[in-house]
């Protein structure tokens, strides 16, 4: 009788060993295509609060005008002119919607916009205001907190310096919460309009603007 139980126990031990060996062998095999979707889903996981806060830092600074580079002094040469390569097509300017509003999100490539430079005093004040915009965006995502701080800072920039690059940055920050929270803060499409920045105006200078990183 004891010998029968010993045989059964031995078979059970062998079976467990076989299962463990097979499992380890499978885990050591290279991943197949079937595991690729799982990895891609893991890579596409939603951004965390800290990821979004890091992204919000782009609103803390306004684009700066590009300093013209001095041409290098070189002796004239008699080399023949090389044929010019075909120029890529220029970006078509953003088109206004039916209500003649151009939203900041219509800027999808780097391009020139036109702003009036501020005095040194106003420029310092505007630079001190933008970090409040960035911080207000991050804080607004926390539970039981709202975007009031950000909206207040944005509107202050628009009211004090409506033709400046700081007003444009404020409009960019407001647009991202417009669709979801616009009614709460009485944000209108007209408040987001950037149409006047698309063309040169008296007293303006060109500044290269990049699309917002989303």
Which residue do the tokens 């009788």 mark?
1
Distance (Å, whole) CA 129 – CA 163: 16
Residue 79's pLDDT is 54
pLDDT of residue 194: 97
> Mean pLDDT, consecutive 10-residue segments, the chain of 214 residues?
51 46 47 46 58 74 66 54 55 64 94 96 95 88 86 96 96 91 94 96 95 82
* All structural domains of the chain with their residue ranges: 49-62+99-209
Q: Strand, helix or coil at 113?
A: strand
Are 172 and 59 spatial neighbours (Cβ–Cβ below 8 Å)? Answer: yes
Give 3-state DSSP helix, strand, coil % of the chain, rounded to 5. Answer: 55, 5, 40
| Confidence at residue 206, expressed as pLDDT on a 0 to 100 scale | 96
pTM of the model: 0.64
Provide the β-strand partners of residue 113: 207
| Beta strand extents in the chain (DSSP E only) | 111-115, 205-209
pLDDT digits (tens, 9 = 90+) for 70-113: 555 555 555 555 555 555 555 556 666 657 899 999 999 999 99
Q: For residue 163, what is the DSSP state?
A: T
């Amino acid at each position: 009788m004891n010998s029968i139980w010993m045989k059964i126990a031995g078979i059970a031990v062998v079976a467990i060993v076989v299962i463990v060996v097979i499992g380890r062998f499978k885990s050591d095999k290279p991943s197949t295509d079937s595991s690729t979707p799982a990895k891609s889903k893991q890579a596409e996981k939603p951004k965390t609060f800290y990821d979004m806060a890091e992204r919000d830092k782009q609103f803390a600074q306004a684009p700066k005008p590009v300093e013209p580079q001095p041409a290098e002094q070189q002796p004239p040469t008699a080399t023949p002119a090389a044929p010019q390569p075909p120029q890529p097509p220029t970006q078509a300017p953003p088109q206004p919607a039916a209500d003649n509003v151009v939203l900041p999100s219509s800027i999808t490539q780097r391009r020139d916009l036109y702003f009036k430079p501020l005095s040194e005093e106003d420029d310092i004040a505007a630079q001190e205001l933008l970090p409040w915009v960035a911080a207000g965006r991050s804080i607004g995502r926390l539970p039981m907190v709202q975007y009031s701080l950000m909206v207040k800072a944005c509107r202050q920039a628009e009211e004090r310096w409506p033709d400046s690059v700081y007003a444009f940055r404020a409009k960019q920050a407001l647009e991202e919460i417009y669709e979801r929270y616009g009614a709460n803060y009485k944000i209108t499409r007209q408040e987001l309009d950037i149409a006047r920045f698309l063309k040169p105006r008296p007293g303006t200078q060109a500044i290269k603007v990049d699309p917002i990183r989303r």
